[in-house]
Amino acid sequence: MNTMTLERRRLDEAPPLTSETMVAFERVQKTYDGRTLVVEDLNLTVRRGEFLTMLGPSGSGKTTTLMMLGGFEQPTSGRILLEGQAVERLPPERRDIGFVFQNYALFPHMTVAENVGFPLRYRGVRGAEAARRVAEALAMVKLGGLGERRPAQLSGGQQQRVALARAMVFNPKLILMDEPLGALDKQLREHMQVEIRKIQQNLGITMVYVTHDQSEALTMSDRIAVFHEGRIQQLSDPVTLYDQPENRFVAGFIGDNNTLSGDFLGVEDGFGVVRLADGSRLLTTGAAGIPGSSVTVSLRPERLGLDNGTRQGAENRFPARVLDRTFLGDRVRLTLEAFGDPSLVASLPAADGAAVTPGGIVTLTCRAADCLTLTR
């Protein structure tokens, strides 16, 4: 049984519970119409103090999963445990969970301090104690001194900070965040990614975050669960997820990627050998297919280089015609035709690609270790 089959079995089995388990989904399923499963046989644990991101395209089941954890949806079957306690039938207010929504959900008629203090008032915390906690929460998100303003007087980034402070003010066990940065511009979104991650690490709080933005997930997460069609396709730390995708969907969804179709010929000198559409042979690593079986080779654009006589250790060398060249500041992006495929992409340091022009022929190199064979 190969590694991928073993990993699939692990994802399909209920995970073991330990003292470090904050959240556990056990064989959770969700359907709205009794026929189509939006979430199918979900088994997942979230560790105490972890930043776990649920990543996937629209309709993949990630937001439904978050809503079931938060108590806004109930699973059709299966169990959801929070610190070992089954919570799938508990209402949201009894789960001790903070929630940050995409649209902030701030009360426009309340001040910032009143918005942040609302969960405390609901829990019966008032007076000096409530004021102290509100001040501490606003200080955490660098909004001290803005407590008397109304939400409309704040920028989008500041409103998002208010929503985060409100989710933290009652010291919840867990904070859930549903596409919280989607309405912000690129620069502010990237700044808030760093700020949220810093707050999470400083407090040691457990966060479960939903996004469809791959770079956001890679930047912020301890682990990422990639969803597709109601199932987790891969659950890994960001580096493993990027460098070692376990199937064609993950390889195509996470970051820029070249996917080359071919036939697996066998193993030579410890490397897999794949014959591509034009008859070229590529040395690869990864899952070993059955000789003669169809496979996909995953190859990141930045793992391709030009053969300039200095690139060492690259087992693969092949000619390519340059179709387009785009200058991106520190890098150059090339679109090339190779292996009979006119959509190959290479991302090179700007200095390496400075002399490359469209219409020219170049020799590309890549290591076998960077050519990952996928069998599913």
Q: Which of 251, 285, 312 is the last residue of a domain?
A: 251
In a shared domain, residues 327 and 270: yes
In a shared domain, residues 132 and 247: yes
In this prediction, what percent of the chain has a pLDDT beyond 90?
A: 74
295: containing domain: 257-374
Each residue of 132-145: pLDDT tens digit?
999 999 998 889 88
* Cα(309)–Cα(20) distance, integer angstroms: 51
Burial of 136 (0-12, 13-18, 19+ CB in 10 A): middle
Burial 7-27 (b: 16+ CB within 10 A, else e): ebeebeebbeeeeebbbbbbe
In a shared domain, residues 232 and 279: no
In a shared domain, residues 294 and 213: no
In a shared domain, residues 271 and 341: yes
In a shared domain, residues 62 and 132: yes
In a shared domain, residues 180 and 289: no
Q: Which residues, other chains included, contact 201 with Cβ-Cβ below 8 Å and sequence gap of 6+?
A: 51
**pLDDT over threshold 50, residue 9:** no
pTM here is 0.87
In a shared domain, residues 78 and 201: yes
* Cα(233)–Cα(134) distance, integer angstroms: 40
- Cα angle 250, 227, 301; round to 5: 20
Q: Which residue has the tokens 């022009």?
A: 357
Give the residue from 186, 145, 180 showing the smallest Cα distance to 164. Answer: 180
Q: Which of 217, 251, 285 is the last residue of a domain?
A: 251
In a shared domain, residues 198 and 311: no
Q: Which of 251, 281, 312 is the last residue of a domain?
A: 251
Q: For 157, phi and psi rounded to 5 degrees?
A: -65, -40
Q: How many domains does the chain have?
A: 2
Q: What is the CATH number of the domain that holds 158?
A: 3.40.50.300
Among 7-16, 103-112, 246-255, whose mean pLDDT is lowest?
7-16
Residues 31-60: what's their mean pLDDT? Answer: 96
Each residue of 291-301: pLDDT tens digit?
989 999 999 99
**pLDDT over threshold 90, residue 365:** yes
Each residue of 339-358: pLDDT tens digit?
989 999 999 999 888 889 99
